[in-house]
Amino acid sequence: MKVSEIMKALNAELIYGEDFLDREVYSACGSDMMSDVLAYVKEQAVLLTGLVNPQVVRTAEMMDMRCIVFVRGKKPDEGMIELAKEKGIPLLGSKREMFTSCGILYEHGLRGGGHPYNG
C-alpha cells in the first residue's frame, strides 16, 4: 500500500512528506508503547500511534519504518516534524481512533507481519 493510499483510506492529512507519497508500505503496527513496537520487526511498516513525542520518530527511525500515522487527531509539534524531515519519514494525521484506523488498513490488505528475532 502506498503512503498516498493510506492517506486516502484514513482520510488523513499530510503533516510532512510530499516527496514520499509513492513510498510502498508492506505491513503495519499500532501501539502507544514504544517498546512493544520495538519487540517485533516488521518489514517496511507504517506505525500508527496516539503518542506524540520525539521518541515516536526515533522508534520509527531505528526500525526503518516507512511512515507514521498519528491517530485520534493527535498533532506532532515542530520539533518532531523537524526530526521526521531529518530522518526522511512521512507523517500523517488521522482523526479516527486507533482501532478504526487499524481496521481500515487491515481491510485494505495490510497485515501485522511481525516476526521476532530469536537470538
Query: What is the contact surface with another protein in residues (CB under 8 A)?
Result: 32-36, 38-39, 41, 49, 51, 53-56, 58-59, 61-64, 79, 87, 116-119
Q: Between 11 and 55, name the residue whose CB sits nearer to another protein.
A: 55
Which element (helix H / strand E) includes 86? helix 78-87
Of the CA atoms within 13 Å of residue 20, those in its CB half-sphere come to 22
The Cα–Cα gap between 22 and 84 comes to 17
89 CA to centre of own chain = 9
Strand order of the β-sheet with 27-30 is: 13-16, 91-93, 67-70, 45-49, 27-30
Q: Between 11 and 53, name the residue whose CB sits nearer to another protein.
A: 53
Instruction: Report, in Å, the least distance between residue 77 CB and another protein.
Output: 10
Q: Between 18 and 78, name the residue whose CB sits nearer to another protein.
A: 78
Bridge partner residues of 13 (DSSP): 93
Instruction: Report, in Å, the least distance between residue 4 CB and another protein.
Output: 25
Instruction: Report, in Å, the least distance between residue 41 CB and another protein.
Output: 7
Q: Between 7 and 70, name the residue whose CB sits nearer to another protein.
A: 70
Instruction: Report, in Å, the least distance between residue 48 CB and another protein.
Output: 13
